[in-house]
Amino acid sequence: MSGAAVDAQPEVASSQAKIIDGNAIAKEIRTSLSKSIEELHAQAPTFHPPHLVILQLGSSPASTTYIRMKLKAAEESGMTVQHIKVESDDESGEPKGTGVKKVLELVRHANADEKVSGILVQLPLEGAGKAEEKSVVDSVSVSKDVDGFHPENIGLLTSRISEPYFTPCTPAGVIKLIESTGFDLAGSSAVVLGRSDIVGTPVCALLRKKDATVTQCHSRTKNLEDIVRSADVVIAAIGQAEFVRGEWLKPGAIVIDVGTNYIPDASKKSGQRLVGDVHYESASKVASYITPVPGGVGPMTVAMLMHNTFEAAKRTWSTRRERKLVPLPLKMLEKVPSDIEIAVAQEPKLVATVAEEMGVQADELESYGRFKAKIELSVLDRLKDKLDGKYIVVAGITPTPLGEGKSTTTIGLAQALGAHLQKNAIACVRQPSQGPTFGVKGGAAGGGYSQVIPMTEFNLHLTGDIHAVAAANNLLAAAIDARMFHEFTQKDKALFDRLCPKKKGKRSFAKPMLARLKRLGIDKVDPEQLTEEEQSRFARLDIDPATITWNRVLDVNDRYLRAITVGQAPTEKGFTRQTAFDIAVASEVMAVLALSKDVADMRARLGRMVVASSKAGEPITAEDIGCAGAMAVLMKDAIKPTLMQTLEGTPVFVHAGPFANIAHGNSSIIADRIALKLAGIEKGDDASRSGYVITEAGFGADIGMEKFCNIKTRVSGLRPNAVVLVATIRALKMHGGGPAVTPGKPLDAVYTEEHLDLLEKGCANLGKHIENAKKFGLKVVVAINRFAHDTVPEMELVQKYALSVGADYAVPANHWARGGEGAVDLAEAVIKACEDESQFKFLYDLNLPLVQKMEIIAKEMYGADGVSLSPEAQAEVERYERQGYGGLPICMAKTALSLSDDPSKKGVPTGFTLPIRNVRLSAGASFVYPLVGDMSTMPGLTTRPGFYDIDLNPETGDIEGLF
């Protein structure tokens, strides 16, 4: 025998083997684990105690006993345990296989729950076959398989170049027991009796990794006694009571008895006694060390389960903190191609990959193809304890009709933060309307090398949210006209009978009818108990057609629907009225979608939308009409944000698309809330780890940013950290007196050549927007969006001016031509701006009268001397305040092309009074919108719309000509 082998020899037994006390060693392990958990939590407050889920099928007394031991061990180790017991098919009376299906579903949920460190399926599964047991064991995530039974863990155990996630508990306990004797396994001879996947085979693998020479035996092994007698270490896991005798052993051998067998014993109350696979009395006289049964391997199995669960918790915590984003590289050309050429040249990541990288779990994702998906709102419940990330709103100066690149800046900034500065960054943008897409303005996916992809899907149907908005809106419009028709053609009694027909001799109220009764002050739930007068009040809405504010919508620019007549068919019996179509994104349903906090809030908002007044002056709501619930059903998927990605693979939420002049022009509160949680950190974590959410506000800051601050943040309760104001040399030259900028016409030479005097005059518009942002207590970062013809002196002039009038930072940005790389300086300025706590404040108190709130906005935001209301507008204000809507915020509907009401007045107009020709109510969206000047809610098509260039390649199926 070699020298190494001699060194490895166990000591020769004297007369009695030393007992390896598994209980004592297991207790030491549990105490050590408890201390380690406490120490780690003290060092890292975001590390929480490990959580183990134990699943049991059936009521086996033996399983229940084992589980009780594990629960106690977990408590002593400083862990938490959830024991979930599922009735077997025999217990529940369910069809065969039902119990296994329930266990599989519980495993799936536990796999997805990041709070679960480890999953243990207690075997055997009562009533299940071997194949079913295997399917359940295999379904446990390998990263949570603390039992070590997953095939991948078993397979890795035998590998010489890699390690399993977890070592099976009993084999790991066996090795710990051997090592507790001080014996060196290297070069020793070990015999393992048993070849099960749970003990025998894994023990052999572990012994080999300790450089022992291993012989594995089983029931058919020949010359078994001789083989055992040659072993320095014997591990018995063969499942036969007292099978190994003392005379089989080599003197001084170490004996580890894994067996658990019951033999008759009349002296015991139970009539039986627990013994191992080794005849303890004879073996203990030959061996140097031996494990007792019970009290040997059993406690160690449970202890190693606790050890594995702790390791799983540490690994999960560490993995959760790792940055997972893998950016997509950009192949940029000096001459920037068209948007669509850039977009189709980039191969997006699968949306499931984007979701995983940002921390969305598989069961929180509803895929719509390979590259876009809906996010389930349940993610908010899972992340409710996280702190929010930093919140940045992107706005701009008063734009030219061509737009100044707010969407492009939003995406470029997200790419810079996420792909280049390794920050957790999520962009939140609105879904574009197909009206502008096929008209003049174009899409809203950004541009150049800062885009949302796939760009074609983004700018077209996407996941159908706008169609859902249109369907819900038009259902209500149809219901309004139908209700008026039926009231027009029926007497009160017949109307009531048709609204509450007898079914099997009994009448009942529908859910919205009960809501209407409550609003009327009628405290009755049985239709038969209403008096004739109450029946009439309930059934007859008595809508005044002149007060109807609800139009039909469609997502197309169609100028000929700005005024229409409905009801001209002879079947409508002469009941006609004047009405109109709006574009879908101007619908209050869209504003409701954007401002809803959850499904219940959306349902309530839809119900309280006011569509008209009765002839008595009472507001008529969608709930009164009776279709708010059906509208909510149409919107049930639209309320979920859509996940997409930028050209550089950073995540983007696309959700809602309310008009920025008629409505508040911001993406949804729900998308922002989910993004802020995903970008946030856990309590106690280092603040420098916080991520960033970049949300865009439509049009100039006097519209989009003002409404973001005074409307959206009031509803959401969220507080922005900073505003990015996008400015361009082109727009500032226009405000300095440059010629008109018109879509479809070439730019005047003044915009493509250096003109510092003109630029300096126009900077006043930027100064006004900086001043406005400061009134909300926001840090201001000016992004000077660079175009190809802008010169260095022009950029420096704007930068110097912005800083001189109060901007916290002013940074040139070239993200259109350089992607995220071109916005790194901007991103670093945003990071600095967000270091301090938000000092955000509102512009006005909601309790002020409506007209006074209008005046504050007009004076503070636009620089007007005041407001002037038409008689009609004044009457509407008085009516809304009388109806109880005076406490709502104001959503000014005015041109985006000037700080004033006149689009031709550029720069910073003064000496004007803001004319308000009418005032409308969006009770569901919870704002009042004054109409300033002539505002259209249905755009028209130009002589040469964009659809001329859009086509489908018949050979490849690719979209061509879209931007």
Active site residues: 70
Contact of 51 with 144, CB cutoff 8 Å:
no
3-state secondary structure 339-390: HHHHHHHCCCCCHHHHHHHHCCCHHHEEECCCCCEEECCHHHHHCCCCCCCE
Rg (CA), the chain: 36
Identify which of 323, 435, 400, 397 has the alpha carbon closest to the alpha carbon of residue 734: 400
Residue 259 and residue 237 in contact, taking contact as beta carbons nearer than 8 Å:
yes
Please identify which residue in the block is written with the tokens 């958990």.
37
Give yes or no for a cis peptide into 294 (omega within 30° of 0).
yes
Structure tokens at 9: 């020899």
Q: For 693-712, b where at least 16 C-beta lie within 10 A, e where not — what string? A: bbbbbbbbbbbbbbbbbbbb
Two tokens, residue 39: 């120490």
Residue 225, CA atoms < 13 Å, CB-side half-sphere: 5
Q: Which residues pair with 552 in a beta bridge?
A: 581
Place of tokens 């989910």: 674
Look at strands 642-646 and 373-375 and give their pairing.
antiparallel
DSSP assignments along 733-774, one per residue = HHHTTPPPP-TTSPPPGGGTS--HHHHHHHHHHHHHHHHHHH
* Strand boundaries in 88-152, DSSP class E: 118-121
The tokens of 842 are what?
């509102």
Q: Tell me whether strands 779-785 and 722-727 are parallel, antiparallel or unpaired.
A: parallel
Quote the distance between the C-alpha of residue 383 and its chain's center: 9
User: Exposed e or buried b for every residue in 774-783, given b needs 16+ CB within 10 A?
Assistant: bebebbbbbb
Distance CA 171, CA 165 (A): 14
CA 370, 376, 381, 387: dihedral to nearest 10 degrees? 50
622 close to 476: Cβ distance less than 8 angstroms = yes
Distances (CA, A) of 56 to 66, 75, 136, 148, 151: 11, 19, 11, 17, 20
Q: Are 135 and 100 in contact (CB under 8 A)?
A: yes
First to last CA, the chain: 82
Pairing of strands 651-654, 722-727: unpaired
Give whole-number Cα distances, 576 to 409, 482, 552, 588, 624, in Å: 48, 12, 15, 24, 22
Beta bridge partners of 120: 54
